[in-house]
Structure 1
Amino acid sequence: MPYDTVRGTDPAVADALAGERERQNDTLAMIASENHVSEAVMEAQSSELTNNYAEGYPGSRYYGGCEYADEVEQLAIDRAKELWGAEHVNVQPHSGSQANMGVFLAVLDPGDKILSLDLTHGGHLSHGHPVNVAGKTYEVEQYEVNAETGYVDYDQLAAKAEAFDPDIIISGYSAYPREVEWERVQAAADSVDAYHLADIAHITGLVAAGEHSSPVGTADFVTGSTHKTIRSGRGGIIMCDEEHADDVDSAVFPGLQGGPILHNVAGKAVGFGEALTPEFEEYASQVVDNAAALGERLQERGLELVSEGTDTHLVLVDLRPSHPDTTGKDVEAALEEVGIVLNANTVPGESRSAFNPSGIRAGTPALTTRGFDEEACRTVADLIYEIVDAPHDESVEGFVDQKVDELTAEYPLYD
């Protein structure tokens, strides 16, 4: 039985851990930022490296006893360089948000200017939202997607850059289903002598596998998460040219944190190694194919997708045209009751509160890890629609709940 050792010491925690394992096995994880890592990554992340402190970097630590810590971190660095073609990589950030802060600390001063995508249009909290430390530390202006097309308005971005004169422009998004045109953002940054930070948190795996174009070599800085489409355990990463290496490393340590979470770095190393295999390329391709199938079926059933489709791992549904009285939170709660877990999300031209928005966001990374193909994802789309259309109908709920049970049994996650 899992967690037997924990149970002998702390049954309450063991019960919660076992419950979470069961929950993941028996539900469909469709939050676009979530995935299921391999048993190897989980084992590495629970290793004895949790006992090491290891402030500093490989070959230059402030503590002794770091021989194997150095080996593991260097493996993570070298594999990341191979995956993304970066000159310099820092694998120590604890999250994608912390990776972004590392870049800001490396090249910005308090009061400097950031130009980023508005949160309600698919941007991210760490890109300068007023409640975030970035928004409290820097002056922030935001661009938008075209509310009619759902695509980033690159002309507006360039015009805002000329008017605002930012010190850094951020591309890469949290709820944007289309491929990002990195070169157009870079051109806008060049025109005002600004840095360009490409945040690929959601698409790290798609970029690594060639399913999405790469900003590495175009943007000055590339940040990402390591637990979404790359399946390498929770954490962050920063990539840059050698000219910025010292500034980035100093910003991460000692600027933002002390000792790295080395057992997480071990998970990154193992996950990056898995991502270097042909099987991972097949996986990433299937993620994109599954998202396309999911989106197409939702459209066939009458739901409207922002930008009318997807190029990536996620779809963003605007509920207003088909179900104007239904909110994203209504759907999120109703779907969770039947074992489908996704999140409410704002949509371009949002007319409701961000706490109870008009859209839902659904992703396919975790389903694909379980083995779902396009046909299975079309089935899931049908189930989602049934709940959207009749969220409180007990017969519909019973039918969908049974189908979810069948799907999780057909595509088991854990033995």
Structure 2
Amino acid sequence: MGEQLVAIGQALTERTCADAATARLIEAELARQATTVNLIAAANHLSPAVSAAMHPALESIHCEGYPGRRYHEGQEAADGLERLATERARRLFGTEHANVQPYRGTMANLAAAVAVLEPGDTLLGLETAAGGHYTTGGSLHLIGRMFRVVPYEVAADTGELDYDAIEAAAREERPRAIFCGDTSYPRLWDYAALRSIADAVGAVLVADVSQSAGLIAGGAIPSPAPHADIMTAATYKTLRGPRAGLILTKKRYAKAVDRAVYPVCQGGTNVRVLAGIATALGEALTDGFRAYSRQVVENSRVLAGELAFLGLDLVTGGTDNHACLVDVRPLGLTGDAAARLLASAGILSNGNQIPHDPNPPRTPSGLRLGTAAVTSLGMTPTGMAEVAELVVRVLRDGPPAVDKVRLRAAEIRRELHRPDDDAWMCADTEDLV
């Protein structure tokens, strides 16, 4: 392993010899990634095909507007790449219109809100501590400052969504839009029920699937496409593309969404990122990606099941998607302390609020664990069960367990694929045309 890291570092230094300080920092990051098990739910790896598509030459294209309606010359490649990406997005998710220009999922949420709301209008969104995204779950984000955000909660006894309570809130508040979707809700959404609630009050239904877009694309969990007016997503996380966003809409909202993205909410697009998005969406259309998405969910269920078997307290008792949420208070920990302890043992995660959390976001009561990144590298259910045991050992035994677990975590990582090796899952790029 040491020789491999030295070779990687030497190659990197040769490519970045003009800035040795930058090279050293990147080399350190490569070494970290090669020796740790990444259970951060929002993390993933780019495939070799996506990485290769993001050619540096594309950075020199100054691109504003939409295909066929740009403000600068020399846009042939930009137009072709954007059209390819939008066509693949429509085909993948079964929607009438797609916009692939948002810089992130957060920008996609902002553009969706601007497209269908006027300043001061009311929207409903899942409360942040209950698992909702901060853009639509409270007043922190610009959305909460432009519009009146009314958060809805999950049931206190089960931690699951209460659709009767959501309907009651909608009938009382009469929102112009209802946002659904989450960052840390481990169960499936009933999009048909939300469609019925939105229709009852005349609201637009917006589904933020930033966390689960790849699982939806791969058919591992149900899609909101038949029910939602607008879908927003991140193109990384479970979709395994570059760090950007996209919006999927019914045709009636297409013009408003496009204008909200550009020029209202952001400037020109990054053509290099467009190329990566197009390739990632193409990969997501393959049988290999569908197998990957199913494996992500299976690994997540194994992880959650083993953690529960070993005595940890899981919010909602388990998971139906790529992540699970652990209440670490019975262990005498806060989520941030638990995450730091695991990181010292070579296992990455993040502290996270739990429903009705008495603690603030920086020192939450929960720990979030996900399986998208390790599944990309070939993690199996058997390996996942061992990782769960290592997590519990560190959280229960504390610092005395760290050194041994860190050595085993590095061994597990070495047994998995490198992100650029020939065994990369879903590398059937010949099927992308």
Residue 410 of structure 1 corresponds to 415
Q: How does 1:139-178 map to 2 (within 5 A)?
A: 139-178=148-187
1:300 to 2:309 alignment: yes
Which string of whole-angstrom CA distances, capped at 9 and with x for unpartnered residues, describes residues 333-382 of structure 1? 00001111100011112122221011100000001001001111101100
Deviations 1:70-104 (A, max 9, x none): 11111111111111011000000000000011111
Matched letter for residue 349 of structure 1? H
Q: Would you say the 8 A contact 2:138–2:150 is kept in 1?
A: no
Which of the residues 327, 334, 337 maps onto 2:341?
334
| Whole-Å separation in 1 of the counterparts to 2:236 and 2:217 | 13
SS of residue in 2 equivalent to 1:316: strand
Q: Are 1:128 and 1:138, in contact at CA under 8 Å, matched by a contact in 2?
A: no
Q: Does residue 1:319 correspond to 2:319, yes or no?
A: no
Instruction: Give 1:41 shift.
Output: 1.3
- Whether 2:31 is the aligned partner of 1:22: answer yes
Indicate whether 1:376 and 2:383 are aligned.
yes
Confirm or deny that 1:87 pairs with 2:92. Answer: no
Q: Say whether residues 1:58 and 2:67 are aligned partners.
A: yes
> Is the contact between residue 34 and residue 410 of structure 2 (CA under 8 Å) also seen in structure 1?
no
Instruction: In structure 1, give the amino acid aligned to 2:139.
Output: P
Instruction: Describe the shift of the 1:412–1:34 C-alpha distance in structure 2 as closer, same or farther (beyond 3 A).
Output: same
Q: TM-score, normalised by structure 1?
A: 0.97
Alpha-carbon distance between aligned partners in 1 of 2:11 and 2:286, rounded to the nearest angstrom: 29
In 2: Cα distance, 1:17 partner to 1:159 partner: 51
Cα 1:354–1:318 shift into 2, 3 Å: same
Distance in structure 1 (CA, Å) of the matches to 2:37 and 2:26: 18
- Match of residue 18, structure 2, among 4, 9, 12: 9
Runs of 4+ in 1 over 3 A off after TM superposition: none
Of 135, 139, 149 in structure 2, the residue corresponding to residue 126 of structure 1 is: 135
* Matched position secondary structure for 2:205: strand
Kindly indicate whether the alpha-carbon contact (under 8 Å) linking 1:344 and 1:356 is maintained by their aligned counterparts in 2: yes
SS of the aligned residue for 1:317 comes to strand
Choose from 187, 191, 197 the match for 2:206: 197
Q: Note if contact 1:25-1:412 (Cα within 8 Å) is conserved in structure 2.
A: no
Letter in 2 for 1:308: G
**Alignment equivalent of 2:362, drawn from 342, 352, 355:** 355
Q: Is the 8 A contact 1:87 1:240 kept in 2?
A: yes
1:242-289 residue CA offsets vs partner (Å, 9 max, x unmatched)? 111111111111111221011111110111111111110110010000
Q: Distance in 2 between matches of 1:200 and 1:261?
A: 22
Which consecutive residues of structure 1, in runs of 5 or more, have no partner in the other structure? none
Q: Distance in 2 between matches of 1:129 and 1:3?
A: 43
2: CA distance between counterparts of 1:192 and 1:2? 59
* Deviation for aligned residue 1:397: 1.1
Map of 1:186-225 to 2, 5 A cutoff? 186-225=195-234
Distance, in Å, in 1 between the alignment partners of 2:147 and 2:403 is: 50
SS of the equivalent of 1:223 reads strand
C-alpha contact (below 8 Å) 2:138/2:151 kept by paired residues: no
Deviations 1:45-84 (A, max 9, x none): 2431111112111111111100011111111111111110
> Would you say the 8 A contact 1:128–1:134 is kept in 2?
no
Cα shift at 1:232: 1.2
2:287 corresponds in structure 1 to 278
Counterpart for residue 426 of structure 2: none
State the secondary structure of the residue aligned to 1:127.
coil
CA shift digits 1:368-409 (9 cap, x unpaired)? 00100111110110000011102222xx11221111011011
Partner SS state of residue 15, structure 1: helix
Cα 1:161–1:144 shift into 2, 3 Å: same
Match of 2:393 among 386, 393, 397: 386
Contact 2:300 2:324 in 1 (8 A): yes
Paired with 1:228 and 1:318, the residues of 2 have a C-alpha distance of 23
CA distance in structure 2 between the partners assigned to 1:76 and 1:218 by the alignment? 23
Q: Which runs of 5+ in 2 are unaligned?
A: 1-9, 422-433
Per the TM alignment, residue 128 of structure 1 is displaced from its structure 2 partner at its CA by 4.5
**Correspondence 1:108 to 2:117:** yes
Identical columns (%): 38
Matched, 1:77 2:86: yes
Letter in 1 for 2:286: T
Q: Is the 8 Å Cα contact of residues 35 and 227 (structure 1) preserved in structure 2?
A: yes
**C-alpha contact 1:327 1:359 (8 A) present in aligned 2:** yes
Please identify, of 342-351 and 84-93, the stretch whose mean Cα deviation from structure 2 is larger: 342-351
Alignment partners' CA distance in 2, 1:9 and 1:221: 46
- 1:99 equivalenced with 2:88 (yes/no): no
Which deviations, in whole Å up to 9, do the C-alpha atoms of 1:96-139 show, x marking residues without a partner?
Answer: 00001111111111111110111000000111422211111111
Give the secondary-structure state (helix, strand or coil) at the position aligned to 2:326.
strand
Q: Decide whether the 8 Å contact of 1:40 with 1:270 is kept in 2.
A: yes
The Cα shift of 1:7 comes to 2.4
One of 38, 47, 52 as aligned partner of 2:47: 38
1:136 alignment partner in structure 2: 145
Amino acid at match of 1:358: S
Deviations, residues 165-189 of structure 1 (Å, cap 9, x unaligned):
1111110110011111111111111
